[in-house]
Structure formats: C-alpha cells, structure tokens
Amino acid sequence: MSPVTEATATKIQDDLGYAGGGFRGLLWLTWRQHRWALIGTLVLAVILVGWMTYLSVVLTDLWHQCHQTYCPESSPQGLRLGGSSPLVLTMGALSRLVQYMPLLIGVFVGVPLLTREHEQRTLLLAWSQDVSPQRWLWTKLGILGLFVAVVTTAVAAVSDHLERMQTLVAPGNLFEYGPFLNTGMLPVVISICWFAVGVALGAAMRRTLPAVFGVIVGFIGLTYLVQWRYPTLMTPLSATRQVGGPDDGLLRDNALVVKGGMIEYGLDGPSGAFDASGRQLSGVELQRLCPPDNGAGTTLSCFADHHLQQHLLYQPGSRILEFHLIVAAGYLGLTAVALLAVWWIVRRTNLTAG
C-alpha cells in the first residue's frame, strides 16, 4: 500500500472501531467519507428552498394586488412579470437549477460511493471489517438514498408551489416541459434515479472522471429524449378551432398543444389554417386572403369572416398527473436496473484486487 492508502485504511479502521461494526459504524463511516458532498447538497437545497419560498411570497402578493387574476401587462405588477425583468430571470434560473439538481446529485453523491474505494484501493479493507460486501453496499445506498429523497422532497414541494403561483399571476402552462419537470414528484424520482445511475457507473468504471462523464452524457441524452417523447406518451386528442373566433376554452387549464396551433403567415409552405372545405392554405395564400393590417387589428376578424379553421392535436391539462406517473415509472425502472447492476458488479468484484 502507498502511504496515502495506508492512512485511508487506518481512518476506516478507526471510524468503524469508534462507532462499532454494525449499522452505527456504517452510518458514521458514510458521514466521514461523504460529508462534504452531503453538506454541499444540503446547502444547495436550503438556498433553493429559501429563495423559492421568498419568490412564492412575492408572487402571492402580486396575485392579491391584481385581484386574484392575471396581472395586466401594462400594470406595474405586469411589468415585474414580463419580458426579461429581474424577477422573471431569477425564477428561470432557479427553475433550471431544480432541473439540473439530479445531475449534481448523481455526480457528487452517487459516483464517489464506489469509485472512492477503488481509487484509494480500500475496498478489501472496507469489506473485511465484520461487514459483508452486500450489507456494506445496501446500508450505504440506503443512508445516502434516504438523504437524497428527504432533501429533494423539500425542494420539490416548494418548486411545485412556485410553478403553480406563476400560472396564477401570468399566462403559463404546467404541461410545458420545464414546469412539468419541476412539479409533482418528478424532482424526487429523477434525483433518486441519477443517484443510483451514478453509483452504477462508478461501480462499472471504477474511476471518478469517466463515471462523471458518463452521468453527464446520460443525463443530457435522457433529458432530451423525455422532452421529445413525453407529449405523445398518451394518444393526443384532436380538435378543430375557428381561427379568430371566440375563445372556446379548449386550450385552457394547462392543455398542451402537440401539433398545430401555429399560423405561418406569408410563407410558401403550409400555414396551419384550413378553409371551409378542409383544404390547408399556404402562407402566401393566407396573406393574399387577409393582407397585413399593420397593427389595425383586422387580421383575426378577416380569418373569422372567411371561416378559417385550425386542426389541433393536444393533451388536456387533466392528464398531467397521469403523465407524471408514466415518466416517474420510467425513471424508477431505470433506478431498479441501476441498483441491480450495482448488486451484480459488487457480487462479482474480486476482493483480492482491492
């Protein structure tokens, strides 16, 4: 053993000896080995919870000032909620941070669980202190997993409330991808998933940097895959709407448009608008039929006078919970696969190699 390894081995022996070889000893050892990652995660969670709680109070105050409805864009409250105002930018940054929290947990909490032992070559010692490899593994996984679940549950609860407050004071949609990921149980489930994946990649690669790179690549790839596929996890409903007609309420209450809903004006391609016979007009034909009004506000009335229609595929807002459950089930399935892989790898690890 190198001097560093000997010092590390002595520390493990001291830690287990100090607290005993049972659960208490493993609990103490887990804290000693992962305390900085745990403290960092806790600090990040406290900052997120505190900041989002403050913003929720601000939005609640704006909501009451606007008589419990949307704040008009021209009002002082609307200006605080519009465009690139500091309030909007801050909420956007916090939303992104909540979405990337599972990646940070996978990298800083999950990956080091086994790579630390392999790189410091203390695995044989760690598994020979009257604790079997399986008991060592599942105890540490349970301790760290419980910590991740508790911390992310607090963040998820406040994030869910903040996203819902945003839809009360300004037009918004909880079915859009960002709010969709930040509401319900998804922040908790996704964080637990990437914690488990981080452990699995660390066990398979036995080196920190390759495992971290694998977690980052996997996280980005799966995130974009879910973003691409989640609108069609259930068969969308179809509807036909009159363009420029009265609001039929079809797209209220967080409905998600899967296809259609956009009017392309003045282009050679399809415009998304259909005439009374069901033929889709090109953007050029649409512009010829209803010339630009230069801000006079007559374009929509022209669309209505010619009985133009839109064909939509959409997911009603009432399906958000079902979609949350489907996505959560997928991440939990990946979690189970990762834990099974960890168990298999640990079981086949050659202890004589450290």
Tokens for 265, please give them: 């004006």
State the pLDDT at residue 137.
Answer: 85
Give the rounded distance of the alpha carbon of 122 from its chain centre. Answer: 35
State the pLDDT at residue 11.
Answer: 53
State the pLDDT at residue 296.
Answer: 63
Q: Which of 6, 155, 18 is nearest to 95 (CA)?
A: 155
State the pLDDT at residue 266.
Answer: 66
**Domain contains 55:** yes
Please report where in the chains the tokens 């969670």 appear, as a residue. 45
The total of other beta-carbon atoms located within 10 Å of residue 247's CB is: 8
State the pLDDT at residue 32.
Answer: 84
Same-domain pairing of 12 and 81: yes
Same-domain pairing of 57 and 39: yes
Mean pLDDT by 10 residues, the chain (354 residues): 50 49 75 89 94 93 86 80 82 93 95 86 67 82 94 96 89 90 95 96 92 96 94 91 70 84 75 82 82 71 82 90 96 97 85 51
Tokens for 347, please give them: 């079981």
As a whole number of angstroms, the distance between CA 197 and CA 336 comes to 9
State the pLDDT at residue 350.
Answer: 66
Angle between helices 112-120 and 208-229 (to 10 degrees): 160
Same-domain pairing of 63 and 177: yes
**Domain contains 239:** no
Same-domain pairing of 308 and 337: no
How many structural domains are present in the chain? 2
Same-domain pairing of 279 and 338: no
Same-domain pairing of 310 and 326: no
Question: Could you list the residue range(s) of the whole structural domain that residue 98 is in?
Answer: 8-233+322-353
Tokens for 13, please give them: 């022996």
**Domain contains 242:** no
State the pLDDT at residue 211.
Answer: 95
Same-domain pairing of 217 and 279: no
The total of other beta-carbon atoms located within 10 Å of residue 138's CB is: 17
Residue 222 neighbours by CB under 8 Å, 6+ apart: 334
Partners of 315 in the beta sheet? 256
**Domain contains 243:** no
Partners of 311 in the beta sheet? 240
Chain length of the chain: 354
